[in-house]
Amino acid sequence: MSNLGYVTGDIEQTSRVRFPGLSPRAYEHPADRGALAVLRAVPGIGPILQAVAGAFTERGERLLQVASSIRVGPKQYPNINRLRLEVAATLDIEPVPDVYIERAAEAYAGTYGIDQPFIVLSTGLVELLDYDGLRFVIGHEMGHAKSGHALYATILRRLLGLQQSLGWMPAGYLAMRAIIAALYEWQRKTELTCDRAGLLASQDPQAALRVHVALAGGMDVSEVDTGEFLAQAKEYQEVEDIRDSLLKLLHTERRSHPLAVVRAAELQKWAASEEYRSILTGEYPRREDDSPSSNFTEDIKSAAKSYKESMANSTDPLIKVINEVGEAVAGTAGKVWSKFAPNGAAE
């Protein structure tokens, strides 16, 4: 980590584009945004969800990090602190989340907290990635903070604990399992969302791809052909045997993150899209224009379109069925909102 610990200075002035007033809607994956739109549109949902997540002691979690890890700052990992400030400036995040480095051989990162989110990086991750890779990862984690994912992720953790107490009730267990499976699906979509935030922070698709290669097992990225790596995603997605489809479902049911190779291909596809290029030229949703009532229908339609495109592009028979269900749910949510929303809100 010698290349990360000794340089100090102000926020780097580079050719990277900054995004003043950036709304998280600019980079959120359509399925993620649609799910959040449904939740955010319910009157008083914030206090209710806060109460559900009440067992999460944000103050205690922060104090634990203060006592057991290193808080990044001007005098502690100053290069990573520069990245922290640069990424926050690029994505227009204020206040800037704290970053902590904790000792662990495993490579991981996480964002915790609801009112004041903070980021934790493992030493295994810091040692694995280069400077540009860390920029992408910190941008990814700040995407979680900006989109408010911590609250819903906390609810998932609470439900996982509650599931154990309902295990003796078959009906209760099955209902809880269905809810948890849906939340896991949403959480996997949030990772795709935040990969996009990481790309906006780094504006370097190759750096993002190197991170995905490293997380998939690339100890020396020079030994991995990225074309072959991405071809694995196509091989995985194009299975036609229903038995393979069921195996894929079992592989992902309890995963909080998409499978590494598939995730890499998804981000590279977005990096080549007109949507990404438009954001770089300054055409993106602003926070000042965010309104649950005015954006709800747009978000639901976008989610339904995403499922439809995924279904159309997939040769996997089971994925087609799952996407049909997702599209139907999104469409139903839009119809319900249109029926009960205030006049004009759904137009």
Active site residues: 141
Give the whole-angstrom CA distance, residue 327 versus residue 312: 12
Which one, of 184, 311, 310, lies nearest residue 251 by Cα? 184
Whole-angstrom distance, CA of residue 24 vs CA of residue 322: 26
Taking each helix axis from N to C end, the angle separating 260-271 and 205-216, rounded to the nearest 10 degrees, works out to: 180
Count of CB atoms within 10 A of residue 255's CB? 13
Instruction: Please check whether residue 307 is in contact with residue 330, taking contact to mean a CB–CB distance below 8 angstroms.
Output: yes
DSSP 96: P
Element (H, E) at 328: helix 317-340
248 Cβ neighbours under 8 A, 6+ residues apart: 236, 239, 316, 318, 319
Q: CB within 8 A of 105, min separation 6: which ones?
A: 122, 123, 124
Strands 98-102 and 70-71, how do they pair? antiparallel
Burial of 64 (0-12, 13-18, 19+ CB in 10 A): middle
